[in-house]
């Protein structure tokens, strides 16, 4: 009985000494992007926040997405939750999945949110959490109303129309339009439009009649319901002129800016019941310079109209009066005059030009992209973009015109004389008969090409060691004539078929693969590799010590044996364990025989 226990104990000790192999797995996941639709929501809109979760191809397992939430950013341990989706499913390695979540905001403002993702790998069930910041701006916007009503003659029916333009990001429903006026009779005054789609418009015609001469206010009222269930009302008012029997004058102008030329027209409508002749139209203004201020019409038939165009430039911001004067002859030969005055508001000139700079990295030849952003209310012209630098030679560019609210981009090529150059960009331009200027600064840098060895693998092959990897360029300039060789030492010798490998050129931020072979004497811990390359005509040499301990031991066991095993043969750790068991058994048997001899 005692001998049996001793043998069992010895076997247990021997087996326990064998190494255990633990499998390892991991996932490499990220939220690659988050899309928000619509991009410009209004209160009550259904907003879709859609993150895209990517499981990189380098992952060794799938990623099961347990939960995706949209919560208030920086909301502490218990943030306000806007949306929550669970059990989305598994994303395989190299795949991606988009998860739409629906949210809604009742009030306008900017909402700083965060997308939180919780999941686990499909092999070891380890949890990985991701987050992504999202900012949503909710603006209060309304549909636009535009009333178009011609001047009228007292007691005569006139035509008008109202255009409803829906600039919201979603349709409006239950749309009802009503038109009314002071001392004005309107037929078909109410119209139900039902629905107006997003970015669409509807036009409703109406008839009206003013019984008294003078000015009459007409108001259009629009009642609607948004996609979020909010009911609202918007109105627009226009003044129409009603006269007795005489030609009608209508002055129409574009929005004006102080110091900037704008366009206008005067329309003469003849409603006398007979033609007018020898008509002369002049336009003048208070604090306004008018060009093309005189037009002559030989004859304007009854029921017809004539239009004259003119240009005007307000000298200062504020309200200015434009007066159109028509002198004409009646069929009886009488000379009469009619005038019409319009007050135009001139906005002050807003000269606001900014430069947005971006650079393209490379070698000593780089580029600066300059975006000229016109944030003012007037177009700019004759834009000259120049750049200066003490350590670089930078080009220049010209831009003809940049309209208000728009931008134009130009590219300035640059040649660096050093590793870094500070660049000052200056843009001068004409705006409303004056000269403006905008400036900005940036920096250009270059990192010389530098070769490093990455992704190194050492395996036994045909009685020698094969070293495979990549020569990676970590700089922003090309590395040329790249050569990787095995360094000849006392225990390491370069050998065929590739004692050295000519990689040729490795472009900036790129890599090239190589294979070299080495013969070793005995176990070695590392194989020295020497890398030579040229950067801007200067030769560089670097030496890398590549870990080869495992591959060297595998090579010592037998040819073509992987570092962790001897191919299909008996594993080295198991062989050692078996030897230990045999030795222990032999000692036990010998002791037993000796004790029997003593008996």
pTM above 0.75, yes or no: no
Q: Report the chain's mean pLDDT, rounded to a whole number.
A: 83
Mean pLDDT, rounded, for 166-170: 79
* Cα distance between residue 434 and residue 291, in whole Å: 20
Under the banding of pLDDT at 50, 70 and 90, the label for residue 244 is low
Alpha-carbon distances of 401 from 226, 373, 383, rounded to whole Å? 40, 11, 7
Mean pLDDT, rounded, for 353-360: 90
DSSP-assigned beta bridge partners for residue 464: 461
Task: Please say whether the beta carbons of 227 and 166 come within 8 A.
Answer: no
Minimum mean pLDDT among 377-391, 460-474, 492-506, 559-573: which range?
Answer: 559-573
pLDDT above 90 for 239: no
* Cα distance between residue 180 and residue 24, in whole Å: 78
Alpha-carbon distances of 296 from 281, 289, 312, 420, rounded to whole Å? 6, 20, 19, 67
The model's pLDDT over 481-509, given as tens digits with 9 standing for 90+, comes to: 999 999 999 999 999 999 999 999 999 88
pLDDT at 153: 57
Which three-class secondary structure string do you get for 86-130? EEEEEECCCCEEECCEEEECCCCEEEEEEEEEEEEECCCCCEEEE
Q: Does domain 353-445 have CATH number 3.40.50.9100?
A: no
* Cα distance between residue 485 and residue 507, in whole Å: 20
DSSP-assigned beta bridge partners for residue 444: 421
CATH fold, domain 144-243, is Immunoglobulin-like (2.60.40)
> Could you identify the residue written with the tokens 């997003």?
198
Under the banding of pLDDT at 50, 70 and 90, the label for residue 133 is very high
pLDDT at 427: 95
As assigned by CATH, the class of the 29-138 domain is mainly beta
pLDDT above 80 for 428: yes
pLDDT above 90 for 424: yes
Domain ranges of the chain: 2-19+571-598, 29-138, 144-243, 248-347, 353-445, 451-557
Residue 151 or 235, more confident = 235
Mean pLDDT, rounded, for 381-389: 94
* Cα distance between residue 473 and residue 535, in whole Å: 11
pLDDT at 425: 95
Task: Please say whether the beta carbons of 117 and 32 come within 8 A.
Answer: no
**Got the DSSP string for 415-479?**
EESSSEEEEEEEEEEEETTEEEEEEEEEEEE-----EEEEEEEEEEETTEEEEEEEEEE-SSS-E
pLDDT above 70 for 430: yes
DSSP letter (8 states) at residue 475: S
Q: Between 3.90.79.10, 2.60.40.1230, 3.40.50.10860, 3.40.50.720, what CATH number should domain 451-557 receive? A: 2.60.40.1230
Question: What would the two tokens of residue 509 be?
Answer: 């931020």
Q: What φ, ψ does residue 316 adopt, rounded to 5°?
A: -140, 165
Mean pLDDT, rounded, for 2-11: 30
The model's pLDDT over 273-316, given as tens digits with 9 standing for 90+, comes to: 778 899 999 999 899 999 999 999 999 998 899 999 999 999 89
Mean pLDDT, rounded, for 504-520: 93
As assigned by CATH, the class of the 248-347 domain is mainly beta
* Cα distance between residue 8 and residue 2, in whole Å: 10
Which three-class secondary structure string do you get for 45-96? CEEEEEEEEEECCCCCCCEEEEEEEEEECCCCCCCCEEEEEEEEEEECCCCE
pLDDT above 90 for 21: no
* Cα distance between residue 515 and residue 214, in whole Å: 96
pLDDT above 50 for 202: yes
Under the banding of pLDDT at 50, 70 and 90, the label for residue 545 is very high
- The total of other beta-carbon atoms located within 10 Å of residue 436's CB is 17
Residue 122 or 26, more confident = 122
Under the banding of pLDDT at 50, 70 and 90, the label for residue 340 is very high
pLDDT above 80 for 91: yes
pLDDT at 12: 27
* Cα distance between residue 64 and residue 278, in whole Å: 86
Domain pair 29-138 / 451-557, same fold: yes
* Cα distance between residue 83 and residue 68, in whole Å: 8
On the CB side of 501, how many CA atoms lie within 13 Å of its CA?
19
């Amino acid at each position: 009985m005692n001998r049996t226990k001793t043998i069992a104990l010895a076997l247990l000790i021997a087996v326990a000494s064998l190494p255990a192999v633990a499998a390892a797995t991991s996932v490499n996941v990220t939220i690659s992007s988050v899309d928000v639709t619509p991009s410009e929501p209004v209160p009550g809109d259904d907003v879709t926040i859609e993150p895209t979760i990517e499981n990189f191809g380098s992952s060794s397992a799938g990623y099961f997405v347990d939960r995706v939430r949209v919560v208030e950013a920086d909301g502490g341990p218990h943030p306000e939750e806007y949306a929550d989706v669970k059990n989305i499913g598994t994303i395989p390695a190299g795949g991606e999945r988009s998860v739409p979540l629906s949210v809604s905001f009742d009030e306008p403002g900017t909402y700083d949110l965060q997308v939180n993702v919780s999941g686990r790998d499909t092999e070891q069930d380890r949890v990985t959490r991701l987050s992504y910041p999202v900012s949503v701006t909710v603006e209060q916007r309304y549909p636009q109303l535009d009333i178009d009503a011609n001047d009228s003659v007292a007691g005569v029916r006139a035509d008008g129309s109202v255009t409803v333009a829906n600039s919201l990001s979603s349709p409006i429903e239950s749309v009802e339009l009503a038109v009314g006026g002071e001392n004005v009779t309107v037929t078909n005054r109410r119209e139900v439009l039902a629905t107006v789609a997003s970015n669409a418009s509807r036009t409703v015609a109406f008839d009206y009649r003013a019984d008294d001469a003078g000015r009459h206010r007409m108001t259009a009222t629009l009642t609607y319901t948004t996609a979020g269930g909010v009911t609202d009302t918007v109105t627009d008012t226009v003044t129409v002129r009603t006269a007795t029997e005489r030609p009608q004058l209508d002055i129409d102008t574009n929005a004006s800016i102080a110091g900037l030329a704008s366009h206008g027209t005067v329309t003469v409508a003849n409603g006398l019941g007979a033609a007018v002749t020898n008509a002369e139209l002049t336009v003048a203004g208070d604090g306004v310079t008018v060009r093309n201020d005189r037009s002559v019409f030989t004859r304007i038939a009854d029921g017809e109209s004539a239009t004259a165009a003119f240009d005007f430039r307000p000298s200062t911001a504020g309200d200015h009066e434009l007066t159109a004067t028509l002198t004409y002859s009646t069929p009886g030969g009488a000379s009469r005059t009619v005038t019409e005055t319009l007050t135009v508001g001139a906005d002050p000139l807003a000269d606001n030009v900014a430069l947005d700079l971006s650079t393209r990295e490379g070698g000593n030849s780089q580029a600066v992209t300059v975006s000229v952003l016109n944030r003012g209310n007037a177009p700019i012209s004759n834009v000259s973009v120049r750049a200066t630098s003490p350590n670089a030679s930078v080009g220049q560019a010209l831009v003809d015109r940049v309209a208000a609210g728009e931008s134009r981009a130009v590219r300035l090529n640059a040649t660096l004389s050093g590793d870094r150059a500070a660049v000052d960009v200056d843009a001068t331009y004409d705006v409303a008969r004056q000269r403006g200027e905008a400036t900005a600064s940036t920096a250009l840098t270059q990192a010389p090409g530098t070769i490093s060895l990455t992704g190194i693998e050492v395996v036994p092959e045909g009685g020698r060691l094969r070293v495979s990897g990549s020569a990676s360029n970590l700089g922003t300039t090309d590395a040329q004539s790249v050569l990787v060789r095995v360094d000849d030492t006392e225990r390491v010798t370069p050998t065929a078929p590739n004692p050295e490998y000519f990689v040729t050129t490795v472009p900036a931020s790129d890599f090239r693969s190589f294979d070299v072979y080495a013969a070793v004497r005995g176990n070695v811990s590392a194989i020295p590799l020497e890398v030579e390359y040229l950067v801007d005509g200067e030769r560089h040499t670097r030496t890398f010590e590549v870990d080869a301990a495992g591959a060297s031991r595998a090579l010592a066991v037998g040819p073509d044996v992987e570092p962790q095993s001897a191919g299909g043969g008996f594993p080295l750790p198991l062989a050692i364990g078996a030897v230990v068991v045999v030795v222990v058994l032999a000692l036990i048997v010998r002791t037993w025989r000796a004790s029997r001899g003593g008996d």
